[in-house]
Amino acid sequence: MTGVLPIAATAKQMGKRGLVVPSANLAEAMVVEGLAVYGFDHLRGVIEFLHDPSRYVAPSYQRSEADTATSPLDLMEVKGQSHARRALEVAAAGGHNLIFVGPPGSGKTLLARRIPSILPPMTFEEALETTRIYSVAGLLQGRGLITDRPFRSPHHSASGPSLVGGGSFPKPGEISLASNGILFLDELTEFKRDVLDFLRQPLEDGFVTVTRTRQSVVFPAKFMLVASTNPCPCGYFGDAIQPCTCSPRQREQYWARLSGPLMDRIDLQVMVNRLKPEEITSQEQGEPSAIVRARVARARKIQQERFAQEPNVRCNAQMESRHLRQFCQLDERSKSLLEGAIRRLGLSARASDRVLKVSRTIADLAESDKIQANHVAEAIQYRTFDRMSS
Ligand SMILES: [Zn+2]
């Protein structure tokens, strides 16, 4: 049965003391505290229960400690790529959208799949929100509270409805299932452009409205977008070893597919190069995920305190204009740096706001109260592709 968790939460709100559910949904209903939940396999059991409820004891839910089980993929296994690793850390620290652009074999997918290993555990509120979405989608499969941040990686043949939600009884799509976690779009340019256009509004709002003839439903969609793509059709533009065989026109058309408005909403745009031969043979391991995650957690803690009074903002990436005025003030030097970048790269107002948010996160990682010029300069570096896609 789908949607048992929201039903249980509503029963609690209505002041009900208990709830009878199918056994298979017991774990998820028990997530709601202060509600006695009984699970049965057959109606006969329910009838016996109703005859003499005092003979039954509702099982109690043991909330486990925040799940710190590490993801099986560790950043330690990634050699070199200090620039891309840094971008990954900044993205995780502030909840920013990120795209890796690089030739085949540069390890961009390898890097992206390791993001879950450096993200902080979900708060209880986040876990509850995510569990509700999976409950409605019928994907809990007997589980109780989901404590791992979701990592969703839909195939590029995915349809609009499967990505954003739909159906005659609206169901949440991939962007909602990725809420409080990651939506990973591998080979972004392979996705249909009209399907990508569906992402724009949810990326801005943090929710999606699915409208059908019967009803319209709002689902949360607070996901971090992580994407990867080749730099051109042949894949080797900018590669040190293999020359690109595409014409300028082909490259232009390729970037046009990504559409400026979508790139506008990607805070961190990072070129990933193939390793040099001496880097490939090097025995040196990368920094382990646990150490990176500790730095990310410190930066998130600062944000938690900053947004303690803001129920809808959990990290820097979710700031609105009024927060930018309050928390992202720049001194003269930083201001002229940003203005220079707006002119040089032709940044839109939206893109320049995103530079400010990323600067805030870089300052938080440095545990600096004020945003400094070097923080802004680093944030600007991550706007490599605004030019190419506009
Ligand atoms: Zn090429």
At 10, list the tokens: 């509503």
Residue 305 falls inside a structural domain? no
Report CA-CA distances (Å) from 311 to 39, 157, 203, 317.
34, 36, 18, 14
Q: How far is the CA of 242 from the centre of ligand 1 (A)?
A: 10
Q: How far is the CA of 237 from the centre of ligand 1 (A)?
A: 5
250 in the same domain as 341: no
Q: How far is the CA of 170 from the centre of ligand 1 (A)?
A: 41
Give which of 315, 299, 297 is closest to 307, Cα–Cα: 315
What's the CA gap between 225 and 84, in Å, rounded? 16
Q: How far is the CA of 186 from the centre of ligand 1 (A)?
A: 18
What's the CA gap between 116 and 245, in Å, rounded? 36
The residues near 378 (Cβ < 8 Å, ≥ 6 apart) are: 359, 362
CATH of the domain at 181: 3.40.50.300
136 in the same domain as 39: no
Beta bridge partners of 220: 207
The residues near 260 (Cβ < 8 Å, ≥ 6 apart) are: 348, 386, 389, 390
Q: How far is the CA of 238 from the centre of ligand 1 (A)?
A: 9
250 in the same domain as 106: yes
Report CA-CA distances (Å) from 100 to 83, 103, 197, 329, 348.
11, 10, 19, 29, 21
348 in the same domain as 225: no
Provide the domain limits for residue 178: 75-281
Q: Please say which residue of 260, 281, 302 terminates a domain.
A: 281
Residue 94 falls inside a structural domain? yes
195 in the same domain as 96: yes
Taking only Cα atoms into account, the Rg of the chain, rounded to an integer number of angstroms, comes to 23
Q: How far is the CA of 250 from the centre of ligand 1 (A)?
A: 8
224 in the same domain as 168: yes
Q: How far is the CA of 251 from the centre of ligand 1 (A)?
A: 7
317 in the same domain as 221: no
Q: How far is the CA of 77 from the centre of ligand 1 (A)?
A: 29
181 in the same domain as 139: yes
261 in the same domain as 187: yes
The residues near 169 (Cβ < 8 Å, ≥ 6 apart) are: 212, 214
Q: How far is the CA of 248 from the centre of ligand 1 (A)?
A: 9
Residue 48 falls inside a structural domain? yes
Q: How far is the CA of 102 from the centre of ligand 1 (A)?
A: 11
Q: How many independent structural domains does the chain possess?
A: 3
CATH of the domain at 383: 1.10.8
328 in the same domain as 188: no
Q: Please say which residue of 234, 262, 281 terminates a domain.
A: 281
Residue 303 falls inside a structural domain? no
Q: How far is the CA of 104 from the centre of ligand 1 (A)?
A: 11
Residue 189 falls inside a structural domain? yes
Q: Please give the backbone phi and psi of residue 217, each rounded to the nearest 5 degrees, phi first.
A: -125, 140
Q: How far is the CA of 147 from the centre of ligand 1 (A)?
A: 42
Q: How far is the CA of 133 from the centre of ligand 1 (A)?
A: 41
Q: How far is the CA of 234 from the centre of ligand 1 (A)?
A: 4
336 in the same domain as 256: no
Residue 292 falls inside a structural domain? no
CA-based torsion, 103, 107, 110, 114: positive or negative: negative
At 283, is the secondary structure helix, strand, or coil? coil
Residue 70 falls inside a structural domain? no
Q: How far is the CA of 243 from the centre of ligand 1 (A)?
A: 8
Q: How far is the CA of 350 from the centre of ligand 1 (A)?
A: 29
Q: Tens of pLDDT along the chain (390 residues)?
A: 888 888 888 888 888 888 888 888 888 888 878 888 888 888 898 888 888 888 888 877 665 544 445 567 899 988 889 999 999 999 999 999 999 999 998 999 999 999 999 998 888 888 999 999 999 998 988 888 888 899 999 999 999 999 999 887 788 999 999 999 999 999 998 998 888 889 989 998 899 998 877 778 899 999 999 999 999 999 999 888 899 999 999 998 888 877 667 888 899 999 999 888 777 788 778 899 999 999 999 999 999 999 999 988 999 999 999 999 999 999 999 999 999 999 998 888 888 999 999 999 999 999 999 999 999 999 999 987 766 654
Residue 63 falls inside a structural domain? no
267 in the same domain as 342: no
Q: How far is the CA of 259 from the centre of ligand 1 (A)?
A: 19
Long-range residue pairs from 28-34, CB within 8 A, at least 24 positions apart, any chain = 28/4, 28/131, 28/135, 28/140, 28/143, 28/144, 28/145, 29/4, 29/5, 30/59, 30/60, 30/61, 30/144, 31/5, 31/61, 31/128, 31/131, 31/144, 31/145, 32/5, 32/8, 33/61
